[in-house]
Amino acid sequence: MEAIKDNFTSFTKQNGLRIVVVVLSFTLTTCAYMAATLRFEGDYIHRHQWISTFADYKKELREKIYPSTPVLLIAGDSTPLFGIDAGILSEDLGRPVLNYGLGAASGLSTILTETLNAVKSGDEVVLIVSDRLLAENSELYLNQALVNILDQDEFAAASWRSRINSFLFMPWDIILFGFGDSVADKHFHNVYQTHSIGKLGDMKANVIASNTPPKLPNKITQAYPVSKSAITRLRRFQKDLNDMDVKLSLLLSPRMRGHTERKRYVSVFSDNIEALRTAGIKVLTSPDDVSQISFDKQYQYDFDTHLNTTGRAIFTDYLSKKILQQDRKTLL
């Protein structure tokens, strides 16, 4: 016993500085987590309240126009909100369509949960979310790292490497100084409101036309592999829908033309489709469709996956053809 005590005392003396550094690092990390939660969470909820507000508004919209009629629900992040004209799609397909596009800021789980709360038996869901959301990587959205950390269950289940990445990519400028009152925020407050939503849930054309964004998208992003966790979520989502007698299909989102013509990009694009299909998820997008869903800057609005009215017409036509093609295969 004395030998153990002597060894411990000797170890402490020799490694005292290292122990202090480890304890101090742990303490600072814990304090950072608490500061992020206290400083950011309220601001985050306020800044991204529009997502839950849109979800509630669109549920009410559905009850008002299609209280008992099965619909084709175009769900997802803000990609379909801007990229799909529900009225035109309804005319093309000869069936009721509702645009249930929300926003990506609260993560994939929120979108899937809100969609589950909106569907009814007999509906069909086409899910459209950006590749970055399917990748579920802390680097990809400004506040995704905070979402990862504030979701305690997800954080506890994550690997140490993922936890460290989450802390590294925390938006410290927002934590310390808030969201601010920039020109971009004024654009946000002008556009991302319920009065901007059309009668079928999509963004009104006149809102897009009358609100020029302060900065057009110019970042060409690389290809992001779909994550295993996203596939797990989608499989669970599909099972929940099946239990409600609701069909699910997935369509990959529009993207900015650039890297999309590189072999590496095309390879990852094809691998993502294969991985989703192998998991049992019906994907409407074909591996050779990358050029059809890639858009030049002239067709985009305020983000690289947000289309203007001209781009929306093209992408809506693409979705219409994909659904009709799938329907013909089902009949054969």
The model's pTM: 0.77
> pLDDT, tens digit, for every residue of 15-38?
666 666 666 766 766 666 555 544
Burial 96-124 (b: 16+ CB within 10 A, else e): bbbbbbbbbbbbbbbbbbbbeebbbeebb
**Contact (Cβ atoms closer than 8 angstroms) between residue 127 and residue 76:** yes
Residue 56: how many other CB atoms lie within 10 Å: 14
What tokens were used for 51? 């997502």
Say what percent of the chain tops pLDDT 90: 52
Angle between helices 49-65 and 16-47 (to 10 degrees): 40
pLDDT at 132 over 90: no
Q: Whats the size of the chain, residue-wise? A: 332
Which ranges of 211-249 does DSSP label H, i.e. alpha helix? 228-243
CA distances from 227 to 117, 192, 293 (A): 24, 29, 21
- What band does 59 get if pLDDT is binned at 50, 70 and 90? very high
pLDDT digits (tens, 9 = 90+) for 187-242: 878 888 999 999 999 999 999 999 988 776 666 677 889 999 899 999 999 999 99
In this predicted structure, the answer to whether residue 142 has a pLDDT above a threshold of 80 is no
For residue 148, is pLDDT > 60? no
Q: What is the CATH number of domain 49-143+175-331?
A: 3.40.50.1110
Contact 283, 250 (CB under 8 A): yes
Each domain of the chain, given as residue ranges in start order, spans 1-47, 49-143+175-331
Q: What is the mean pLDDT of residues 74-92?
A: 96
- Highest-confidence range of 122-126, 151-155, 215-219, by mean pLDDT? 122-126
Longest dimension (CA), the chain: 86
Q: What is the mean pLDDT of residues 114-126?
A: 96
CA separation for the pair 225, 265 (Å, rounded): 10
Query: Phi and psi of 218, rounded to 5°?
Result: -140, 0
pLDDT band, residue 141 (cuts 50/70/90): very low
Lowest mean pLDDT among 8-12, 175-179, 235-239, 300-304: 175-179
